[in-house]
């Protein structure tokens, strides 16, 4: 009764498969025109003046309804890609399966898609039901039905300031509910990546996943294994760089989707030090994204997979390998597995390896070693990683504090710090042992159940997070 009353107030029709949208005027949607990209307005206006329909669509409309300025503006139209290209000087048709048009206005890129038609029952599918190829043009109401969630299936016309809502998306936004369009099982089988998108949007927006939308996910999660690894990696990267990475990973675990995506992640998050390390890395990433700062995917994945490397590093050393060769072998093992599972790009894998390989060098503070390390082009990434290790309790806080002081000091002060770090003990004092190269004894095992303690204020304050590109 309450929902029907709300629908009546908003003018929303109670239709399961609507072919006619509910038209919402400014008084109902209250979108601030100042949040709309001037170039998106210009693009839709140009298409409309040429006799075509054109709307801002998808996530941009969702964000506008939430009062948030969208990062990207996608446009949907009934014009074909060729017709769109003719209207704009800097327009480029891309894609093989389903062509879209990229239109450039200065540095801003707008993506223009032609309305997609309803899927065909005869569309090619794999043995698990995933649609392999089904791209054809169609009317707007079929385009809306093909979108994944109700909150992403609305169309905004900047010229008339109206929103077309085919599936009750405005109501779900106000209820903070994430609901898939159509039968959840069928939509997930068509494209298993939608299960990852459910998690990402729920965590990012702070929405509740509607029960029937959520229910099939734990059972159907294995279908993600059939999706090309590159596509899964792209979606994982969006999830981790959403500004809500920690919430996303928690939601992944809650929904039963984490298995196979980052193997052993469950084990890491159940260990005190591992959990603290990953939590610190993700919190730092989220803070940087929200502040509009850059984040290195290599640093992020190096952080997430570090405790797998640490475990193997310890095992190789226990088998008699020297510390540095043992670290390289451990990195090789982890990267080989993850490259297969997540299609890690070579550049990202190289960044990860560089960050890991630098860690033993931070424990060498004698002679010219600190100065040489400071000149390494990847020093800042390795240094930030070191601070995470110290803040999590894996290494002594003193090491991070020393490197923070050395990094910020002038040449004279640096010499004093090096001398101090390697000074002979005073008479009667017990001689300090030289720092070990590689992890401390039992770093990958004994520390897992130890008290994580409190991170050193200097190290924690200095840690800027994964900013290094």
As annotated, the active-site residues are 72, 74, 148
Secondary structure (3-state) at 452: coil
Pairing between β-strand 54-57 and β-strand 162-165 as defined by DSSP bridges: unpaired
Look up residue 131 and give its two tokens.
Answer: 């649609």
How far apart CA 408 and CA 400 sit, in angstroms, is 12
Residue 391: how many other CB atoms lie within 10 Å = 27
Q: Say which residue the tokens 């039992």 belong to.
A: 442
How far apart CA 59 and CA 42 sit, in angstroms, is 19
Q: Which residues have CB under 8 Å from 72's CB, separation 6+?
A: 59, 60, 111
Residue 234 CA: distances (Å) to CA of 106, 248, 261, 425: 26, 15, 12, 53
Cβ burial of 169 (10 Å; 0-12, 13-18, 19+) is buried
Residue 3: how many other CB atoms lie within 10 Å = 12
Name the phi and psi angles at 97, rounded to 5. Answer: -65, -45
Residue 423: how many other CB atoms lie within 10 Å = 9
Q: Do 259 and 196 contact (CB within 8 A), yes or no?
A: no
Residue 258 CA: distances (Å) to CA of 75, 184, 217, 224, 342: 33, 20, 12, 11, 12
User: Minimal CA–CA distance to 175: which of 217, 209, 212, 216?
Assistant: 209
User: Minimal CA–CA distance to 52: which of 112, 130, 98?
Assistant: 112
Q: Do 106 and 37 contact (CB within 8 A), yes or no?
A: no
DSSP per-residue string spanning 125-165: B-TT--B-----B--HHHHHHHSSBGGG-EEEETTTTEEEE
B/e letters for 299-331, b = 16+ CB within 10 Å, e = fewer, are bbbbbbbbbbbbbbbbbbbeeebebeebbbbbb
């Amino acid at each position: 009764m309450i929902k029907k009353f709300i629908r009546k107030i908003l003018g929303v029709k109670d239709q399961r498969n609507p072919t006619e949208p509910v038209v919402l005027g400014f008084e109902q949607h209250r979108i601030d025109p100042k949040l709309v990209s001037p170039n998106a307005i210009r693009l839709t206006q140009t298409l409309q003046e040429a006799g075509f329909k054109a709307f801002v669509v998808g996530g941009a409309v969702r964000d506008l309804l939430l009062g948030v300025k969208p990062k990207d503006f996608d446009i949907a139209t009934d014009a074909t890609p060729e017709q769109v290209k003719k209207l704009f000087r800097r327009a480029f048709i891309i894609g093989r399966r389903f062509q879209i048009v990229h239109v450039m206005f200065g540095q801003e890129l707008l993506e223009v898609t032609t309305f997609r038609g309803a899927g065909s029952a005869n569309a090619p599918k794999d043995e698990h039901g995933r649609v392999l190829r089904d791209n054809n043009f169609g009317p707007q109401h079929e385009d809306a039905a093909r979108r994944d969630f109700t909150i992403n299936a609305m169309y905004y016309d900047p010229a008339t300031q109206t929103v077309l809502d085919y599936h009750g998306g405005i109501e779900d936004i106000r209820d903070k509910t994430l609901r898939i369009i159509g039968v959840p099982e069928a939509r997930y089988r068509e494209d298993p990546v939608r299960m990852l998108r459910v998690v990402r949007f729920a965590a990012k927006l702070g929405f509740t996943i509607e029960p029937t939308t959520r229910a099939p996910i734990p059972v159907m999660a294995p279908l993600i294994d059939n999706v090309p690894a590159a596509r899964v990696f792209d979606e994982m990267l969006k999830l981790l760089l959403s500004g809500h990475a920690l919430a996303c990973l928690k939601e992944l675990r809650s929904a039963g989707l984490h298995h196979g995506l980052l193997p052993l992640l469950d084990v890491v998050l159940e260990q005190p030090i591992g959990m603290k390390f990953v939590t610190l890395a993700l919190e730092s990433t989220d803070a940087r994204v929200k502040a509009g700062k850059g984040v290195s995917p290599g640093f992020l994945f190096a952080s997430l997979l570090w405790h797998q490397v640490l475990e193997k590093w310890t095992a190789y050393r226990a088998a008699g390998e020297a510390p540095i060769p043992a670290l390289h072998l451990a990195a090789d093992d982890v990267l080989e597995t993850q490259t297969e599972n997540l299609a890690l790009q070579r550049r990202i894998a190289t960044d990860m390896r560089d960050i890991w390989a630098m860690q033993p060098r931070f424990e060498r503070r004698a002679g010219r070693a600190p100065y040489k390390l400071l000149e390494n082009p990847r020093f800042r990434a390795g240094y930030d990683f070191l601070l995470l290790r110290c803040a999590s309790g894996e290494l002594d806080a003193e090491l991070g504090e020393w490197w923070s002081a050395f990094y910020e000091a002038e040449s004279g002060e640096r010499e004093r710090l090096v001398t101090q770090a390697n000074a002979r003990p005073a008479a009667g004092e017990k001689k300090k042992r030289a720092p070990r190269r590689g992890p401390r004894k039992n770093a990958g095992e004994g520390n897992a159940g130890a008290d994580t303690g409190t991170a050193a204020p200097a190290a924690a304050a200095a840690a800027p997070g994964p900013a290094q590109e």
